[in-house]
Amino acid sequence: MEIEQIYTGCLAQGAYYITSNGEAAIIDPLRETAPYIKRIKKDNVVLKYIFETHFHADFVSGHLDLSKKTGAPIVYGPSAESVFEIITAFDDQEFKIGDITIKALHTPGHTLESTTYLLKDENGKDTAIFSGDTLFLGDVGRPDLAQKSANMTKEELAGLLYDSLQNKILPLANDIIVYPAHGAGSACGKNLSKETVDNLGNQKKTNYALNQVDKSAFIKAVINGLTTPPVYFGQNVALNKRGYESFETVLANGMKALNPNEFELIAEKTNALILDTRMDTEFYKGFIPQSVNIALNGDFAPWIGTLIMDVDQPLLLIADKGFEEEAITRLSRVGFDHVLGFLNGSFKEWLASGKEADTVDRISAFQFSKEFETGKDVLIDVRKESEYKLSHIKNSLNKPLLNINDWVHEIDEKVHFYIYCSAGYRSMAAASILEARGFRNFTEVEGGIKAIKQINSSFFK
């Protein structure tokens, strides 16, 4: 028996590849299936089952494409309903893969169909759980994502989650390995660990949610501090339930190299959003007017879903040469399948054609320390509220990037302001959105709070 965690940092997501005696199972696969197919052929095994812990909200799973290509059935937990054919496992149902057994433990709470898969080794010993979004390392799944579909309140779902943990997970042996669906950086929880594997005994000791005195305390603890979930979450759930275009088709449609004239014509004739995926250090020097900067070198996919919101939004792509396929792939993981093409030769080709370009007013942290006057100048901090509370520049306003579509309407275009984040990624994204909305009365600070602190720590509270 072999278990491999296939972890994708951009989504903070763990898929699992399990083999035993010529057969394999995959749990919570990513959208693109080629790596799995390649691995199955290399290992000379037959994919027997595709297990899904629940209908994912933060990414589009590869279950459909993988099933079509391999013939392996898709397994969901009790109460799961989909347009396509699935095996709806009953509680405690067992599935054989080679010499091992995977047992479905119905653990509702994050969603109603949420299921934890218990792996029994060749000797029948409980060895590991694949806990999906039911149990994370350091946290549990948020109970506020399935309220509408479940016709329940988040408090009621949290109560279900408590019962699932108490009755199905905590009675298991301490030496069982916990393989969660997500780690730190995922919006599916609020206190996820950077570690991606642990034993259950350690989680019983250290996970705050597992150490509440009773159900009432648990409900209060897991609900407290939850941020508003990104809009695209519901759209991804719908795609995972009803189906989607094959990844190969999405990639072929997006990999259309366009010259500047073709690119401009499509932009004018459609409502396509121009998405520039270059690093902030390049974007500010020059970009196509109205384009939005969400760079590939950060948490690209989650920010796409948070800021663009509508997965059906047509996109035109600007990417560094050779990174176009990577950008389209990562967009597809969160359901953004409508890339109309990319600018061949990237922004350099646009400049060479003599077409109009825009820039962002960016200054260094050193220049900022010379210009900024505390109590006089307006300063906007676009980091998360939790980051802001830990440390921020005196008198700065906290307006998180994730809420920019709400607070952008509050900006006074007659008053100049400075904008910063942690290191420049988020503030440049904010700057691009502000300029696309017509604002020019701001200056973005290069390097963000990290660079400013090195220059002048007296600014901070």
Query: Does a structural domain hold residue 125?
Result: yes
Output the pTM of the full model.
Answer: 0.93
Grouping H, G, I as helix, E, B as strand and the rest as coil, residue 198 is strand
Within-domain flag for 382: yes
Domain count across the chain = 3
The domain boundary, picked from 330, 352, 374, lies at 352
Question: Are 69 and 182 contained in the same domain?
Answer: yes
Do 183 and 104 lie in one domain? The reply is yes
**Residue 150's pLDDT is what?**
84
Per the domain annotation, does 401 fall within a domain? yes
Could you tell me the two tokens for 203? 């989680």
Mean pLDDT by runs of 10 across the 461 residues of the chain is 93 96 97 94 97 96 96 97 96 98 98 98 98 97 90 96 98 98 89 94 97 97 89 93 95 98 96 97 97 95 91 97 96 97 97 97 95 88 93 93 92 94 97 96 96 86 73
What is the pLDDT at residue 351? 96
Torsion, Cα 329 335 337 341, to 10 degrees, reads: -50
The verdict on 293 and 416 lying in the same domain is no
Q: Between vectors from CA 47 to CA 89 and to CA 103, what angle results, nearest 5°?
A: 30
Radius of gyration of the chain (CA): 24
Q: Token match 């095996």: residue?
A: 87
Domain that holds residue 372: 362-459
The single-letter code of the amino acid at 168 is: K
pLDDT at res. 250: 97
Looking at the fold, whether 447 and 392 belong to one and the same domain comes out as: yes
Residue 70 lies in a domain: yes
Residue 326 is predicted with a pLDDT of 96
Contacts with 337 (C-beta within 8 Å, 6 or more apart), sequence order: 244, 245, 250, 253, 311, 331
CA atoms within 13 A on the CB side of 13: 24
Same domain, 178 and 319: no
Decide if 444 is inside a domain: yes
For 107, how many CA atoms within 13 A lie in the half-sphere containing its CB? 29
Q: Is residue 239 situated within a structural domain?
A: no
CA-CA-CA-CA torsion sign (23, 24, 25, 31): negative
Whether residues 56 and 131 fall in one domain? yes
Q: Tell me if residue 196 falls in helix, strand or coil.
A: coil
Whether residues 300 and 376 share a domain: the answer is no
Please check whether residues 378 and 327 belong to one and the same domain: no
Distance CA 160, CA 77 (A): 15
Tell me, yes or no, whether 271 lies in a domain. Answer: yes
Mark whether 207 and 332 lie in a shared domain: no
Q: 320, 352, 384 — which closes off a domain?
A: 352
Residue 240 lies in a domain: no
Total residue length of the chain: 461
CATH number of domain containing 279:
3.40.250.10
Residue 193's pLDDT is: 93
Q: Please identify, among 352, 371, 406, the residue that sits at the C-terminal boundary of a domain.
A: 352
Q: Which of 408, 378, 401, 415 is CA-nearest to residue 305?
A: 401
Whether residues 8 and 62 fall in one domain: yes
**From residue 219, how far is each of 148, 153, 346, 405, 454 by CA, in Å?**
18, 11, 50, 30, 42
